[in-house]
Amino acid sequence: MSNFINVQTLLDYQESGSDKVIEMQGVFKKYPDGNEALRGINLKVDQNEFVYIVGPSGAGKSTFMKLIYREEKPTKGQIVVNGFNIGKLKQRKIPYVRRNIGVVFQDFRLLPKLTVAENVAFAMEVIEEPKKVIRKRTSEVLSLVRLKGKANAYPSQLSGGEQQRVAIARAIVNNPSLIIADEPTGNLDPETSWGIMELLEEINFRGTTIIMATHNKDIVNKMRKRVIAIEDGVVVRDEERGEYGYET
Amino acid sequence: MKLSTIGRHFREGFKNVTRNAWMSFASISSIAIPLFILGVFLLLTSNVNQFLGDIESQVEVKVFLNTEVPEEEILSIKNNIASIEEIKRVTHITKEQGIAELREKIGDPLEGYDGEDNPLPDSFVVEVYNSREVKTAAEKIEKLYEGEFITIERAVSEVVAQPEEQNEIEEQNTSEGQDSTENITDGQGIQEDQLEEIQIPVIESVKYGQGYVENLHKITSTIRNIGFIIVIGLVFTAMFLIANTIKLTIMARSNEIEIMKLVGATNQFIRWPFFVEGAVIGFIGSFIPSAVLYFGYAELVDRSQLQLGILGMEMIPQNEATPSILLALFVIGIVIGVFGSVLSVRKHLKV
Ligand SMILES: Nc1ncnc2c1ncn2[C@@H]1O[C@H](COP(=O)(O)OP(=O)(O)OP(=O)(O)O)[C@@H](O)[C@H]1O
Ligand SMILES: [Mg+2]
């Protein structure tokens, strides 16, 4: 996207020789306390794919996603995202890579002292969008997630589902080329969940790559996409138009 | 950075002060309280300095002339002394004034020592600009007339035992053209009331209470040094308190900083509002003690005027004492606010 054009960053661009959005080779993640969350992940995600990440609780789904936007560093292996070698990226460059990735955090991560509208606007202030654009786009996105009426509420005044929708609004507001959503429907009723899924499908249809961790069997089975199952830190299944595959 | 972004940072910085009202209150207090103590102390030291300065400036030099110095010479000696650069004022104390003063102190025994019988010399009271220069001034006065003598005629009642030696001395000291003392060098008999021309130094002695002045300087500089050490100590205590409070403030907000970074904010972007916030807190934190000191000091000067006046002392007036101290407080407050804020945010930026 336009905000990504930055001479310094372009100079850092590593020719990966492919149009892959994500490439992982032999990726391991061991947390400082000795927990081995990922144990040798190899996979590729193409531009414009829609990928479900499934697997039991504690399997390593969130860890896998955190490595992509560099919240965590791999202990071994190589991760290339949008052509950037994430593991070797200099501290200073990290923000510019993150700006191209919209993240819906499993625990929302809203700024508690900012209102709903301010939280969404923050992502645009960071990339120095003009005020006018920020105001227009914020209200657009808030109506997409049906939160217009809560624009001036604080996160603590919202229900879990509402907070989740603010997180989704913030993730999509800059039209990133990649969206990482960690259980974006976890706190939503079926109807709202479907609304969000339609929104994500629409965004995906317009060219955005989407990686979504979920425990929602209905959604995975009805809205067929690529399914990657992770168990105990390794990929145990990777199918196009796959099924959820676990009993709930 | 775009101009609108700078505006945004300022708005956010100001808003953050009220968003984190409780923490802002803690930070402001931890700046305001030590600054207030510091301000009180600075005012105190500058007033003590003023009192000490007053005492010091009362230190003077006394110059005693030789009793034989003729009256018509005194004015020119006085002017010569007054032309020394360290010297502020020279007052002539005539022998009559001298005896009168002495008489006031000891009375009766001095009856009758008037006029020709007055044994006191003429003297000068010399005031210097800077008490530290008392010694220099005294030395310069001594030098002024070093090796200079005035020739006077005096009645001699005894014949000098060795006229030849006398002669030699006189030859050295007497300038040519002056009538020599032929009439007494014939070595014959003793002549009563013979007149003799002799050489005498102009200045008998210069006194400045040597020990007293030096001791006073020792005491005042000790007081000043102790004051300085206490001020430095206070500044460090204040810094420590403030750093601690800000550390707590930021720790509570490290979660927010992390979120901002995950959304793609650069360190600069996060730092700026903290910078502004720190400056605002520093400003408020120094404004409060400054206002209290400003009005409080004026009140104190007002109320103490009478009592101190009796003691011959006076506090530094408010318009002289407060501006530089308040300026110092503001600078310290804002610098501490900004640095504390920016330094503490640093640790949490590595996300
Ligand atoms: N910060 C951390 N420090 C130490 N261990 C961690 C940390 N985060 C996760 N883990 C461990 O790593 C493993 C994988 O955790 P992860 O959060 O990736 O699981 P998950 O698949 O997302 O689970 P869920 O479906 O419940 O969200 C777990 O055993 C977890 O305890
Ligand atoms: Mg998870």
Query: Could you give the ipTM of this predicted complex?
Result: 0.88
SS3 B204: strand
Q: Ligand 2 center to residue A94 CA distance, Å?
A: 22
Tell me the nearest-neighbour CA distance from B234 into chain A, angstroms: 35
Q: Does any CB of chain A come closer than 8 Å to the CB of residue B107?
A: no
pLDDT score, position B157: 56
Q: What angle do CA B266, B272, B274 make, to 5 degrees?
A: 110
- pTM assigned to the model: 0.69
> Is B262 within 8 Å of chain A by CB?
yes
- Ligand 1, atom 22, lies closest to the CA of A62
Confidence grade of residue B348 (pLDDT, cut at 50, 70, 90): confident
Q: Kindly list the protein residues whose Cβ atom lies closer than 6 A to any atom of ligand 1.
A: A 31, 33, 35, 37, 55, 57-63, 106
At B70 the three-state DSSP class reads coil
Q: Which of B1, B19, B262 sits opposite A103 (nearest CB)?
A: B262
> Which positions in chain A touch B277 (Cβ < 8 Å)?
none
Contact A100, A22 (CB under 8 A): no
- In angstroms and rounded to an integer, the radius of gyration of the C-alpha atoms of chain B is 36
Residue of A nearest to B254 (CA): A111
Q: Among A29, A35, A53, which is best to mutate for testing ligand 1, by the most ligand atoms less than 8 A from CB?
A: A35
Distances (CA, A) of B303 to A136, A231, B300, B306, B314: 63, 82, 5, 7, 12
pLDDT at B289: 94
CB within 8 A of A95, min separation 6: which ones?
A126, B261, B264, B265, B266, B269
- Strand B60-65 with B203-207, pairing: antiparallel
Give Cβ neighbours of residue B293 (< 8 Å, ≥ 6 apart).
B36, B39, B40, B43, B322, B325, B326, B329
Residue B181 confidence class, pLDDT cut points 50, 70, 90: very low
Listed as own residue / partner, the contacts of B19-23 with beta carbons closer than 8 Å and 24 or more positions apart are B19/A113, B20/A113, B20/B249, B20/B252, B20/B253, B23/B248, B23/B249, B23/B252
User: pLDDT value at position B31?
Assistant: 85
* Average predicted confidence (pLDDT) for chain B: 78
Cα gap B301→A95, rounded to integer Å: 58
On chain B, the residues whose CB falls within 8 A of the CB of A110 are: 259
Ligand 1 atom nearest to CA at A61: 21
Tell me how close the Cα of B279 comes to any Cα of chain A, in angstroms: 20
Which residues of chain B are within 8 Å of residue A95 when distances are taken between CB atoms? 261, 264-266, 269
Proximal ligand: closest to the CA of A59: 1
Spell out which residues of chain A touch residue B350, defining contact as CB-CB under 8 Å.
91
pLDDT of residue B264: 94
Q: Which residues neighbour ligand 2 (ion) by CB within 5 Å?
A: A 62, 106
Checking if the pLDDT of A154 tops 60, the result is: yes
